[in-house]
Amino acid sequence: MGVRERVREFKKYIKITKADTIARRYFIMNSFDGIVTILGILTGSLITGLFDPIPVIGISISTAIALVVSGFSGTLIAEMSEREIERRQLEESMLIDLRNSIYDKAIKTAIAWVGIVDALSPLVAILVSITPLIFSIYNLIDSVTALYMGITICIIYLGGIGAFMGRVLKKNLLIEALKFIGIGLFTTVIISIILNPLRM
């Protein structure tokens, strides 16, 4: 089977299982998780005076890896368990073996796709946010500015997720974006208040 045919088959399986809807939900949820996590790391670094970009990048990347592994494996385990229960119920109702059927292949494709989206969503969010810190390693910008820029990127990214949700729900994009930005700013404020005694 050629590449084009495989892509066509993949798209068909995603369509018939409505995995695109599930994947969208995981994308929003896990991008949000990733970006608020990195926002916490960057804000905490700024407040506590950890201006050396290398440990901050190290912590951020290790957090990203943990979220990728957790996201992918967690989704796989959860979705496969649910689908296995559904498959058995269906086999009992229909008195046939659904293994190796298109139904079975479509389900497995959907689970793999949702797992990949779940894994990559926080990774992209975190890597985008720490880009200024990477520039600061090469002295293109100073590390304090890099932290502020990273935090700003997080807030903008949150606004982007909000706008995306607004588009999906056919609501006002600006209002939905502002809601998510509000959550980001609230997170920053709470962290600042709690960590203020540790300020250097």
Partner 1 sequence: MAEKHSKIRYLTLDILKPHFPDIVDFSSMIMEKVAGVSKIRTEITEIDQDTESIRMEVYGDNIDIDKLKKVIRELGASLHSIDEVIVEH
Binding site for partner 1 (CB under 8 A): 12, 15-18, 89-90, 93-96, 98, 101-104, 106
Distance of CA 164 to the CA centre of its chain: 14
Closest separation between CB of residue 106 and partner 1, Å? 8
Closest by CA position to 57, among listed 141, 165, 134: 134
Whole-number Cα distances in Å, 140 to 49, 96, 133, 134, 145: 20, 64, 10, 9, 10
| For partner 1, the closer CB: 37 or 109 | 109
Closest separation between CB of residue 121 and partner 1, Å? 25
